[in-house]
Each structure stands twice: as C-alpha cells, then as structure tokens.
Homo-oligomer: A and B are copies of this chain.
C-alpha cells in the first residue's frame, strides 16, 4: 500500500488515519459482527455514531442550538433548488452574488422558483475578483442573500463575510467549510457537499437557523423540505449511513489536529507557500487578486501551455496526482484541503521548481 499526494478538487483526499480506521472496521464494527453499512440507521450503535458526528461538528464550528444540523443527500446542486424552495416566498426576491461557476449554477437553478436579483458579479474580470460590498445593488427587502465564499473552480475566496443586517445570509461553503473558523451566527444557512473537507461524496451538510424552517409550501417535496429533516433528525428516510460515519471520523480527526483554528494556521501556511512560489516565478502564474486567493483551491497556468501535458504526466509519475485544472478553464489546479498535508505542498513546490529549471 502506498499513498500518493492527491490534489483532487473533489471527491478529494481524506486523512489516511480515517481510511485506516474505516478499513479496520469495515467487516466488523467493534465486534458487533457486521459493518456499519449493514446496520439499520435506527440501531443504537448507528444512532450514537450519528449523534456524536453532529456534536463534534457543532463543537468544531461553534454551532449553537439556534441552528439545526442536517445530514442530507443530493449535493450542493440539490441545495441550489432547496434554498429558494424553502426560503423564497411568493412574490419575494432573493439576492445572489455571482463570483464564478458555482454561483452561476445556483443563480440559474433559483430562477425557476421566484425573482432573483444578481446584486453583483465579477464575470467581467473572469472571476478573478470579488466585487467590493459597497458596489452591491441589494434589493429593498430580499428573502435572503446567497453567495459562494470559495469558488472551487476559479480559486476565488471572499476575504470578508458580507454585512447584510437582518437579511438571512446563505452560503455555499462546499469547498471552504472547516478550513478556518467562521462565525456561524452571522449566517441564516450554510450548506456544503461533503466531498471536499468532510467525507465521501453522497452526503450534504446543511446548517440552518431554526426560525428559517417551516416556510416551504405544500408543493415542495417532503424530501426537499428542511423541516422534514429537522423534525426527524435527518432520518425521515434512510440516510447515507456510511458517508455519515466517515464524516464523523473526519470530525474526530479534526479535533485531534487541534480543531479548525489549528487547521486554519496550517492551511494559511500551505497556501502562502504555494502562492509565494508561483508569484516568485515567471514560469507559473495565478490570475486571482491577492486578497481573494483561495486557501483551498490554487489554480495556476504555465507561461507556455504547450508544456501542460508534460507537466501533468511528470507530476503524476512523481506521485503528485490530480493537478489538472477544471475542464472548463484548463491549466492546473492544486486543491489543498485539510486532508492534504503540508508535506504535499512542499513536494509540489519542489517538483514545480525542478520542472521550471528543466523547461524554463
């Protein structure tokens, strides 16, 4: 068994220690004679796992009892529909900020359910900037404001949490959740697909202020109504139990690492090293304005894109996997989530320096 350094944007690297524990328990969970996968979600053994996972997440993020934490399915793409179906009342308007491809998808989907106001967009800068909040054209009384704090594809991350007064702030945190401390109390709702910083694909976390529950109309499917899941502890139907268990192992691992504050220090150091190296080179470049560079997703291009294929093939051979940029933008992208160790970034920089020396 050999583990490479994995820079995949998602489904992304998981901590080796988590996979080792899962491996050990997969056929027989703690002497019970069966796998977690083979157990009813209503079995006390699983219920304990599920509750501990929720509590560990609450501890890690400082989530108060004012919020429900839901373990759902369907990915962020299902949230693009659920948010307006649950929070956008008849005749109301929702504000959206457009800072990249995931924002755009959320905006497009929301358009099916009511009036959407795109209050700001950085499409003119090819999503290399975050529009300053002073420039946002907010509605008079929006049902909520939606934004994507970290755009996985563009590698663009907000350096601030929007100030929106009483308006519920809704954030797609899929690729930034748990990477740094965040004041949950400033949000009406946070959601995240699991497959970047939480666990395997097929699990979606929703953290929603309880006063925002119960607004969905009768036409909303039970499974798409947050109230259904809040009322049933995310067990209205069979949840994705194995993914929930793995997420719990990741939360335990994060606590052992010193929690999110400690991860933030490591993540900042990893990102600064990599951006510092890129900025110090004429061979590599990153287009994003410095203040809005993502700690999690670092896209970069080679000055001569004819070398892209060689770069990727040699990186792969060196055990540096999945550095290809998103198919919609090309170039390279190193996703350096919590589970990607600092040594991986060091190894990447050493490889990039060597590649430049040989090809620059």
Interface residues of A, Cβ cutoff 8 Å to B: 1-4, 6, 8-14, 16, 19-20, 22-23, 26-28, 31-35, 37-43, 73-78, 80-81, 85, 109, 112-113, 193, 195, 200-203, 218-224, 236-243, 246, 319, 321-322, 327
Contact = CB atoms under 8 A, between A and B. Distances in A.
B11 A238 contact: yes
Nearest to A46: B11
A319 B34 CA distance: 10
Given A23-B26, A27-B19, A109-B222, A201 B8 contact: no
A2 B34 CA distance: 8
A39 B193 CA distance: 15
Nearest to A220: B112
B201 A34 contact: no
Contacts of A73: 73-75, 78, 202, 240
B16 A33 contact: no
B35 A221 contact: no
A3 B239 contact: no
A81 B221 contact: yes
Q: How many subunits of this chain does the assembly comprise? A: 2
A14 B28 contact: no
Nearest to A222: B109
Given A112-B218, A321-B33, A238 B195 contact: yes
A325 B238 CA distance: 16
B14 A19 contact: no
B26 A3 contact: no
A73 B240 CA distance: 9
